[in-house]
Chain A
Amino acid sequence: MVARMKEARRMPGAEWLKNHPRWLERIYLWTKRFVVRAYPLMKRINPRFANWLMVRSEEALKGWAFNCQMCGQCILHSTGMTCPMNCPKNLRNGPCGGVRPNGHCEVIPDMPCVWVQAWERSRSMLIFADEIKVIQPPVNRTLQGASAWVTMIEGHDVQTPHGWAMAARQEVER
């Protein structure tokens, strides 16, 4: 018997929640507005506690809802509120060619392909529907385990390797 992979874990109620991406994108915007204001204040009082609190609450909440893998550079709103790090191949830019005819994962046959779900859910979003077309940069593996909110506020999540930034600029100029 093959051990069930961590990527396939889905908590009760999480699928129902993710099937309502319009609410989730609203919640995302509200949370963002709140955290961006609250975190610097908390940090001024006690930086270590602030960081600890962010990591733990993110682990608990996003862990339950999205089976968050704590990559520390969250792009949930760009991927139909479906975590791409749940893809066993860690693909950030779309599905691989191995998706089964029934829309399930090549690696975990009883799990629906993360990207099939991401595509469907992104279609019903209002604000971030087209962000799924953005080319996502390579994952910064040094942020693994960090709070994505903290890395966002401090700007680490958008820092790409120098060469990548050069190539991206060229693409914009085209």
Chain B
Amino acid sequence: MNAGPMRAGSRLERVLRSGRFAVTAELDAPDSADPNDVYQNALVLAEVCDAINATDGAGANCHMSSMGCCALLVRAGYEAILQVGCRDRNRIAIQGDLLGAAAMGVKNVLCLTGDDVSAGDQPEAKRVFDLDSIQLLQVARMMRDQGVLLSGRKLRTPPKFFLGAVENPFAPPLDWRPLRLEKKVRAGAEFIQTQYCFDVPRLQQFMRRVRDLGLHERVYILVGVGPLRSHKAAEFMRDRVPGVWIPDEVIQRMAKTPKAQQAEEGKRICVEIIQQVREIEGVAGVHVMAYRQEEAVAEVIQRAGLLPRQPRLPRFAIPSDEGQGLQRSPQDARQEVAQLSALASEPASANASVQNGRL
């Protein structure tokens, strides 16, 4: 599927193009200025997924910027997906950020509108929304393919991006969502990550329409999934997190479970959903999200039978063969975190060694 040249040659792009079922995961950007906090979270995720999303002020709450997280992730050789939202920056800032990200080695960009400021803990802030997500996609594609800025000014070296977008198949107007996806593909989307899926029949309906439009052959669709932590968390997500649709059956199933086993039940539901989603034609992978529960993400991916993933490799290497999961002891892991954070706190000149393949 998906004709056309390799866009950025990112690991995610290679995995998707090879036809293997891809797994991406979401990194919770820390409320911290310590690179260690990013690496602690990333370490758990990197072993179980093909690429790590760095969120851009998720839920309109302030965290470490997507750019900062991606810089740290790329420095350590992890595959990062830069999330770019339209809420906080105008077109000038966004284009500048895209250039900066490309210069740092970020190859995957996810373009989205972003939650409104009223969803977060600083609702007094000014909302920007200078571009919308589809315009942002086209701007990013324009920078890559035409090699110009929006003004028409030429870029000396255009960025190389594998472009992504988001879609919510579970929010109204349901019959328009597939057509909106088509619009995003026309604007330049090459992969799609969806909102949390808790309602597989609705997703199947959406995918049927997507296949009718032939979109599954033009774009890689990764379905968003995630374990619910508890009945209370499920209700909170349904009522307070914009765009999340959880059917009553799932809520009831969580409610019926004793409190101590609710987390386990949440993981079980998630694994079941992954297995059902895998069967749908046109689904190219899953995107696993779980706020502040990286261990649960790893467990869910493992139990859904999606391991081993490709081991983390130096950036220049091409992942070729499957089945070489990186086996690492906790000591090794701790050592690596220490090493990485030491590197991060060194001055810039010392980091040249990273470029030369010390890591």
Contacts and interface: CB of A to CB of B under 8 A. Distances in A.
Interface of A is mostly: loop
A107 B118 CA distance: 7
Interface residues of A, number: 38
Given A93-B183, A133-B183, A106 B116 contact: yes
Contacts of A90: 129, 132
Given A138-B130, A161-B150, A97 B142 contact: no
Given A119-B176, A133-B183, A138-B139, 5 more contacts: A89-B127, A100-B171, A161-B152, A167-B141, A167-B146
Nearest to B115: A98
Contacts of A95: 171-173, 176, 180
Interface in A140-174: 141, 161-164, 166-167, 170-171
Interface in B117-149: 118-119, 127, 129-135, 138-139, 141-143, 145-146, 148-149
A99 interface: yes
B63 interface: no
Contacts of B139: 138, 163-164, 167
A88 B130 contact: no
Interface in A92-115: 92-103, 106-107, 113, 115
Contacts of A133: 179, 182-183
Contacts of A120: 173
Interface of A: 88-103, 106-107, 113, 115-116, 119-120, 133, 135-139, 141, 161-164, 166-167, 170-171
A108 to B, nearest CB: 9
Contacts, number: 134
Size bracket, chain B contacts: 35 or more
Interface of B: 86-87, 91, 112-113, 115-116, 118-119, 127, 129-135, 138-139, 141-143, 145-146, 148-153, 166-168, 171-173, 175-176, 179-180, 182-183, 186-187, 195, 242-243, 245
Nearest to B171: A99
Contact of A98 (B91, B116, B150, B173): B116
Contact of B172 (A89, A93, A101, A161): A101
B167 A92 contact: no
B62 to A, nearest CB: 19
B152 A94 contact: no
5 contacts: A90-B132, A91-B132, A94-B180, A115-B173, A171-B186
Nearest to B245: A101
A161 to B, nearest CB: 4
A113 B186 CA distance: 24
